[in-house]
Amino acid sequence: MAKGGRSFFERLTGTVNVDDSEEEALDEREVSQVASDDVLDESVSEDSIEENDEEGQLIVDVYNTPDEIVIKAIVAGVKPDNLDISITRDMVTIRGKREEKREIREEDYFYQELYWGAFSRTILLPQEVEVGHAMANEKHGLLTIRLPKIDKEKQTKLKVRGS
Residue 3, pLDDT > 50, answer no
DSSP per residue, 42-57: TTS-HHHHHHHPPPEE
Torsion sign over Cα 62, 134, 84, 98: negative
Residue 43, pLDDT > 60, answer no
Q: Which of 120, 131, 119 is nearest to 69 (CA)?
A: 131
Which distant-in-sequence residues (6+ apart) come within 8 Å of 78 by Cβ? 96, 97, 98
Query: Which pLDDT value is given to residue 9?
Result: 60
Residue 8, pLDDT > 80, answer no
Query: Which pLDDT value is given to residue 12?
Result: 57
Residue 134, pLDDT > 90, answer yes
Q: What domains does the chain contain, in order, with CATH numbers?
A: 3-52 (no CATH), 56-148 (2.60.40.790)
Query: Which pLDDT value is given to residue 105?
Result: 84
Query: Which pLDDT value is given to residue 136?
Result: 95
Q: Give the separation between CA 56 and CA 97, rounded to whole angstroms.
A: 9
117-124 vs 68-74, strand pairing mode: unpaired
**Mean pLDDT over residues 20-33, rounded?**
44
Task: State how far the alpha carbon of 85 is from the alpha carbons of 13, 22, 123, 142, in Å.
Answer: 29, 39, 11, 14
Residue 117 Ramachandran class (φ > 0 left, ψ -120 to 50 alpha, else beta): left
Residue 66, pLDDT > 80, answer yes
pLDDT band at 31 (very low <50, low <70, confident <90, very high): very low
Q: Which of 83, 84, 85, 93 is nearest to 124 (CA)?
A: 93
Q: Give the separation between CA 74 and CA 141, rounded to whole angstroms.
A: 6
Query: Which pLDDT value is given to residue 147?
Result: 96
Torsion sign over Cα 8, 10, 11, 17: negative
**Which neighbouring-strand residues pair with 83?**
96
**Which neighbouring-strand residues pair with 106?**
none
Instruction: Please state whether the predicted TM-score (pTM) of the whole model is above 0.75.
Output: no
Residue 13, pLDDT > 70, answer no
Q: Give the separation between CA 77 and CA 32, rounded to whole angstroms.
A: 35
Average pLDDT in the chain: 75
**Mean pLDDT over residues 2-18, rounded?**
59
**pLDDT tens-digit map of 77-105:** 888 888 999 999 999 999 998 887 778 88
